[in-house]
Structure 1
Amino acid sequence: MTFDLPALAGLDDVAWDSLEHAYGPADDVPDLLRALAAGDAEQAEEAVYELYSNIWHQGSVYPATIPAVPFLVAIAASGASGTQTPQVLRLLGDIAASTDSREVEDPAAVRSAVAAHAEAIAGLLDHQDAQVRAGAQFVLVYAGEQQHVRALILEHWHADAEALHAMMRLDAEKAADLADEVSSDDPLLRVSCALAWIRAGRQVDERVREAALTPIPEDAELWFWSDEGELFDQVIRALAERQGAAVAVEVLTEALGRLPEPPAESEDDAPAESAESAESAESAEPAEPAESAEQADRCLSAARWLIVSYRSAPALLAEALARLLDRPELAHRVISLLELIGPDVLAPAARDRLVTLAGTEDDPTLADEALACLARWNDPAVPALLGRAIIERNRPRTLDATSVSGVAIPFDPDLLAAIRHRLARICDAEDEPPAEPDNPFAAVRDRSEPRRLAAILTAWGDDAAPAVPELIRLLALQPAVAAPVLAVIHPMSLEVMAMLRRVAATAEEGDAVRTRLVAAEAVRALTQDSAPLLAAVRFGLTTATKNPDDRADVAEAATRFPDHADLLVPLLRQALQAIPVPTPSLPAHQARMKLGRTLWQLTGDPGDAIDVLRGTLALSGELFTAWTVATAADLAAELGPAARELVPALEVALTEPISCPAAAQALLAIDPDGPWPGARRTELADQLLAILAGANSPIARNRAFDALAALAPLPASAAETLRALADQDERFPIGVHDIAHLRDDDEIRSRIRALLHE
């Protein structure tokens, strides 16, 4: 390995072991830089990967990042990293672009460290390798002075897509002017020109549309500038943001109509055809399978983004997407989009086509996806289709769909018979050989299917009573699944009661604490006998466990026994003291809060709960703790004025978007005459509005709305902002693009209008 390259001069003068990166002391960075500059391609590739992991970790930069920059620049400028030079430049650009500095006193110092070497990077703008030139532009856009970098790119203009994208970030109008001068058949450059025109606000005329719709070959992609998605995605997003969703949908619909047909079947597989159609087929240019699939993926990906981002998009896209259901190679993707669109705006023929697909056995996976879509729509055809399907095979996507909020499978006697048959097969382990001797459930115990089937039976209540024999068998194998169903069905059977009591008193294997609690709860629901549940609570509080969730479940169950406080309070305090404090374990904090809450409810003394909350609220601002802090704020709100000493900690929690709504509600409950509902009311409303408009989490968004509603009547400015949020075409931000989150968007919009009395 080379140690004396000029690019590494001074490397050993840095006290790397005193600097931190994502994984602790940075004493491994010097060897990684040496490997990067050693000339071995494989070592250099591995070194770049490791540096991306530690000095730039998922967008975060660290104290060790700054001293690494001069060496990375020298390695890139000298070409010592060989074929990895573009990747080194990408790393430098990403470092300069980072907005998340960890333990760096001056966050601007990281970008400044890269900017200090802008001239060295600029020396690569005429490099013979186009990818190196593009990498240099990438670094300069994020690290250099804007006007100077603009001038450099114009001076070294090569009329390529990468340079055009760099200019778009610096000067949208100039990028559009440069695009006007381009004459090229290169697909990436043509589509990039369309993007430049759109971002500059140019009219979407025939030239722009044709350039935007240029097919991009499968192997063509930007080396840089993909931070906003693939190139076609960027075009559709720019159209929607600058021209409105309707214009974006219009262009996308045309792209969908231009999707190439898949290759024709071979002569052996194809049906007989006329001489005229054969001649026509010979003259057509069939699309390459990979190219066709790639174009379809781009179009359908853009369609998904429009649907989840704009409220008007589903109705505008419904017809064009429904037509693609007859394309077998696209049907899987199309069904997932139609599910988001919903049945209200689809033509009846599209729904009928889904019913047909759901009933076919030619492609079980496609049938399952179609049936799951219908289930999420609460389509009346689902019970019969599901009943026929699960006799022979699982329908995992459909059964998962039944767990989505708002989905209900109506009672159907044929489906009940099918579920009974399926449960019997599961218990017999007929689908595959048992994995363990004498354990017929071993092959299926880790699947969600029994739980999903049990949930359907639970929703049917007494109508599901004929399934008791199968549930008794399931009770012996997976009591936590079967017991709650039996409690709802109310089978007054000596056999059932004996088995439930036995499980509640003796379960030892697996999740013993929860299993005993579930079985005991079932006994209590069926007989009003609380003794087994009390015994299960005592077992859960005294048995050794490393799982804090056990203590949390037991604490919740203990609230049902106020008459046994003398027995339970010492055990609850003992369990609370057994969980170490302080602890980085968030489940441990959750368990402590459950125990503290139960102690307060049984004794009327909030002291234990406040002690617990003091420690949990102190987590505010630490990584991944916001939801736990929000739970603590909820408990503080329950305590009300008794939790007054926690106000300063709750005010800290207001600064975190996830915990802010819960903290706001706690402050209002603890001190209803204090500054937050009074003099600082407008300030609090503005904080909550920012979360409502910007949070990716529907839970945080709805909590923010709840807190705003508690402040009603709202300040006039807040009411106006709410009205604009409800009226805009853009949806609220969505973290997970599924049907539940789109329903959340509709729900919060309705709640806003109800609050404003519209």
Structure 2
Amino acid sequence: MFTGIDEVDWASMRHAYGSAEDVPGLLRGLASADAAEREIALDGMYGAVHHQGDVYDSTLACVPFLFALVARAEVPERGEIVELLVSIGGDGEVPEDGAYAMARTAVRSGAEVFERLTGDADAAVRGAAARAVVRFLDDPAHVLSLLRERIRVERDDRVLLALAEGLGFLARHHPGHATEAVDLLEAQSAPPFGPGLRLAALGQLAGCAPGRLPADLVPTVVRLLRERSEHRPVAPCEPDRPDTDTLVGRLRRLRPSDEEGSQLLRTLHTALGDRVDDRIALLNGQLTSPDPTDRCNAVWMSMGLIGEWRGDHSEPVALIGAQLGTEEGRLLEAATSVLEGLFELALPAADDLASLVTRRPDLWVQPVERGVFWLGGPLKALARCGDPRAVPVLGEVLAGSDVPDELGRVVRHLGQTAAPLVPALRERLASVPLDTSDVYDRAAPLMTALGELGDRDSVPLVLRLLLGVPEDYRSRDALAEAGLRTLGALGAAAREATPVVRRLLEGGSAVAAADSLWAIEGDAELVLPVLIRALEGDGAGRLGAAADVLARMGPVAEPAVDGLRRRIGASHLWERKSVACALWRIAGDTELALPVLRDAWAENVRTRVPIAECIAAMGPEGVALHDLLRTELAAPRRHTAPEGYGMHDVFTDERLLDVCRETLTDA
């Protein structure tokens, strides 16, 4: 199977990390009798030869040898090699040119091998080959006939799932054969076929022929899911795998214990798209399954639904909270992780979170590395949803020796109920050394928390940091700005800091100092010259930051209007947004501001919260942009969803919705 491998000039070829002279070793490693060596070789193929889906000359040179490997029955885990070939050949969903087109041609040339492998003795090979044959065999009528025959004789649920996927792919990509493929899927979605195939067929129908779905889709799916669980083997049927420190190994360990079932439900959820009520009902059925594996899969899927779509998620969130009473480690980890990212939306699970926090002090703090700790997920989720039961526990954490730096960040979500933490927060801030490289990471969250809690007694501690950090500290400006924000949040209560703040009006933190000084003293004559100079400068972020301060100052900042008008065409979208808001709030200049704000709203969804806040601050004068707010409230999808969703995106989107509702209610 390696005939000619040493005749290839691998040294002249490249992969992601340079010379491809190590590729023969990787190819031979794929056929090794040692499982760890095989996994390391597969990791090398994905990590270097096919790095992040890229195709190099060495990738193309590997294709014949990969086909030779999958053709030999004695080679272990050939299914993974077939999957690698499919990835190299591409999925046919995107335009191909250059090396990618050559790779697709190379893999297509071996499509007859995939056809033979659909009848292989190894189920993993049969499943991977079913996914390959529909993509690379250029005879859709023959492929349809092949899939029909394989479904008739196949008994393995995982392979049946792949065959149903193949029919769905065929229906989407070959319209001339779509009717036959859909007819097969509809037949397989009903008795006498087993629950696994029926679920797979329903998922594919939802994606390619939703009109052929049964009217009682959700209860049917929930019933089939439970029937499938009853017949699922207690232990996984796969052999033990090596515990290698490779990306392939880590990804394998992160897979759900029922990967096929998870894929079935993901397919259905994806196909249902914006049918949010149906998806919530489906999720509720999954979360009440008697099988913890089904519930674990459902918990992970819930973040995809809640993170992307708006709606009443209270019932699934409460059901996720109910999983916190489990002793099953994966399920507990999944539920905790999801609730941690929901902020106030996690309130229906607050009682379960509080119970877990009380029951498991070992989860309050989690070590990350030597001397570094994170706040444990259950406690963080409880605090982020604003539940006051988190306060005494946070107090105990602050009194301990292992205090996470991020603790100060969750305090803001507790509001004034966190006031009892002030002495401990202040003591913690006082203990931060001034000569360590992590002084910003340790001090900034604490200063922010104390500022939001209005602790005037923390002013000397903030000044200690502003004055005491070494001049060559790399994050000195960032630390100074965090301290200045804290002093600004305290307002007049921070008056003793005025001399220090005034000295900072010159230098890298000038805008932040002007903002702070305005909040403390309200002296427009002193801060306006600083801000006007910043409008003309080219420092990174200074223009936008200065405009934001001027906007908060309102009409009193009228001397800055000419400078703002000159910068309305700034090159950076965020700066234009800030300048437009400032012009509107200072001078009521709608002619210049409105077009810029409308364009920014449409061009970058991340600008929507500050623009909505600007509209809210304008009161009745903001009516000209209220149509944006109404359209936003009517949209079923979260505004950040087109860019994917991250840990704070649900929080940001809920903030946007709150601002839109409050503004329109008050109008």
Alignment TM-score, normalising by the size of structure 2: 0.63
Structure 1 range deviating more: 233-242 or 137-146: 233-242
Instruction: Provide the residue aligned with 2:289 in structure 1.
Output: 258
Gaps of 5+ in 1: 261-291, 428-438, 469-482, 488-495, 538-553, 562-597, 610-637, 651-658, 670-676, 693-698, 710-717
Instruction: Provide the residue aligned with 1:271 in structure 2.
Output: none
Q: Secondary structure at the match of 1:127?
A: coil
The amino acid across from 1:135 in the alignment is: A
Instruction: Provide the residue aligned with 1:12 in structure 2.
Output: 7
Count how many residue pairs are aligned between Structure 1 and Structure 2: 551
Instruction: Provide the residue aligned with 2:524 in structure 1.
Output: none
Out of 462, 479, 489, the position equivalent to 1:486 is 462
Q: 1:456 to 1:756 in 2, by over 3 A?
A: closer
State the distance in 1 between where 2:341 and 2:475 align.
40
Matched, 1:114 2:119: no
Matched, 1:238 2:209: no
Q: 1:49 to 1:704 in 2, by over 3 A?
A: farther
Tell me how far 1:211 sits from its aligned partner: 1.5
Instruction: Provide the residue aligned with 2:307 in structure 1.
Output: 308
Tell me how far 1:51 sits from its aligned partner: 1.6
State the distance in 2 between where 1:222 and 1:705 align.
53
Out of 410, 415, 418, the position equivalent to 1:408 is 415
Instruction: Provide the residue aligned with 1:165 in structure 2.
Output: 165
Instruction: Provide the residue aligned with 1:248 in structure 2.
Output: 279
Tell me how far 1:663 sits from its aligned partner: 9.8
- Does the Cα contact within 8 Å between 2:440 and 2:478 map onto a contact in 1? no
Tell me how far 1:61 sits from its aligned partner: 2.5
Q: Secondary structure at the match of 1:464?
A: helix
Q: Matches of residues 130-169 of structure 1 in structure 2 within 5 Å?
A: 130-145=123-138, 146-157=140-151, 158-159=153-154, 160-169=160-169
Tell me how far 1:361 sits from its aligned partner: 6.6
State the distance in 2 between where 1:39 and 1:385 align.
53
Matched, 1:744 2:652: yes
State the distance in 1 between where 2:396 and 2:602 align.
49
Q: Matches of residues 205-604 of structure 1 in structure 2 within 5 Å?
A: 207-213=220-226, 214-215=228-229, 216-217=232-233, 219-220=235-236, 231-232=261-262, 234-235=264-265, 238-239=268-269, 241-242=271-272, 244-259=275-290, 292=292, 294-327=293-326, 333-334=334-335, 337-338=338-339, 351=350, 354-355=353-354, 357-358=356-357, 363-365=362-364, 369-387=377-395, 390-392=398-400, 396=404, 399=407, 401-402=409-410, 408-410=415-417, 412=419, 414-419=420-425, 451-464=444-457, 485-487=461-463, 503=468, 507=470, 511=474, 526=497, 528=499, 555-557=508-510, 601=533
Tell me how far 1:53 sits from its aligned partner: 1.5
Alignment TM-score, normalising by the size of structure 1: 0.57
The amino acid across from 1:744 in the alignment is: T
Q: Secondary structure at the match of 2:148?
A: helix
Instruction: Provide the residue aligned with 1:66 in structure 2.
Output: 60
* 1:105-155 deviation line (CA, Å, top 9, x unaligned): 364333222112212332322222222222222222333334443333224
Q: 1:36 to 1:211 in 2, by over 3 A?
A: same
Q: 1:559 to 1:685 in 2, by over 3 A?
A: closer
Tell me how far 1:512 sits from its aligned partner: 8.3
Instruction: Provide the residue aligned with 1:51 in structure 2.
Output: 45
Q: Secondary structure at the match of 1:378?
A: coil
Tell me how far 1:89 sits from its aligned partner: 0.8
- Does the Cα contact within 8 Å between 1:59 and 1:100 map onto a contact in 2? no
Q: 1:222 to 1:45 in 2, by over 3 A?
A: closer
Identity percentage of aligned residues: 22
- Does the Cα contact within 8 Å between 2:26 and 2:44 map onto a contact in 1? yes
Instruction: Provide the residue aligned with 1:729 in structure 2.
Output: 636
- Does the Cα contact within 8 Å between 2:601 and 2:607 map onto a contact in 1? no
- Does the Cα contact within 8 Å between 1:45 and 1:84 map onto a contact in 2? no
Measured on the aligned residues, the alpha-carbon RMSD in Å equals: 5.7
- Does the Cα contact within 8 Å between 2:13 and 2:57 map onto a contact in 1? yes
Matched, 1:21 2:15: yes
* 1:31-59 deviation line (CA, Å, top 9, x unaligned): 43355467776655433321211232122
- Does the Cα contact within 8 Å between 1:18 and 1:26 map onto a contact in 2? yes
* 1:607-632 deviation line (CA, Å, top 9, x unaligned): x99xxxxxxxxxxxxxxxxxxxxxxx
Tell me how far 1:365 sits from its aligned partner: 2.7
Q: Secondary structure at the match of 1:61?
A: coil
State the distance in 1 between where 2:94 and 2:285 align.
44
Q: 1:191 to 1:85 in 2, by over 3 A?
A: same
Q: 1:34 to 1:309 in 2, by over 3 A?
A: same
State the distance in 1 between where 2:164 and 2:5 align.
37
Q: 1:454 to 1:55 in 2, by over 3 A?
A: same
- Does the Cα contact within 8 Å between 1:63 and 1:102 map onto a contact in 2? no
Q: Considering only CA atoms, is the larger Rg found in Structure 1 or Structure 2?
A: 1
Instruction: Provide the residue aligned with 2:490 in structure 1.
Output: none
State the distance in 2 between where 1:220 and 1:335 align.
25
- Does the Cα contact within 8 Å between 2:346 and 2:385 map onto a contact in 1? no
Comparing both chains, which one has the higher relative contact order based on Cα–Cα distances under 8 Å and sequence gaps of 6 or more? 2
State the distance in 2 between where 1:257 and 1:520 align.
48
Out of 168, 176, 183, the position equivalent to 2:185 is 176
Q: 1:602 to 1:752 in 2, by over 3 A?
A: closer
The amino acid across from 1:173 in the alignment is: V
State the distance in 2 between where 1:222 and 1:29 align.
28
- Does the Cα contact within 8 Å between 2:447 and 2:483 map onto a contact in 1? no
Structure 1 range deviating more: 447-456 or 245-254: 447-456
Q: 1:751 to 1:61 in 2, by over 3 A?
A: farther
Tell me how far 1:232 sits from its aligned partner: 3.1
Q: 1:118 to 1:455 in 2, by over 3 A?
A: same
State the distance in 2 between where 1:195 and 1:309 align.
20
Q: 1:60 to 1:210 in 2, by over 3 A?
A: same
Structure 1 range deviating more: 30-39 or 368-377: 30-39
The amino acid across from 1:408 in the alignment is: G
- Does the Cα contact within 8 Å between 2:415 and 2:453 map onto a contact in 1? no
- Does the Cα contact within 8 Å between 1:236 and 1:248 map onto a contact in 2? no
State the distance in 1 between where 2:406 and 2:424 align.
15
Tell me how far 1:418 sits from its aligned partner: 3.7
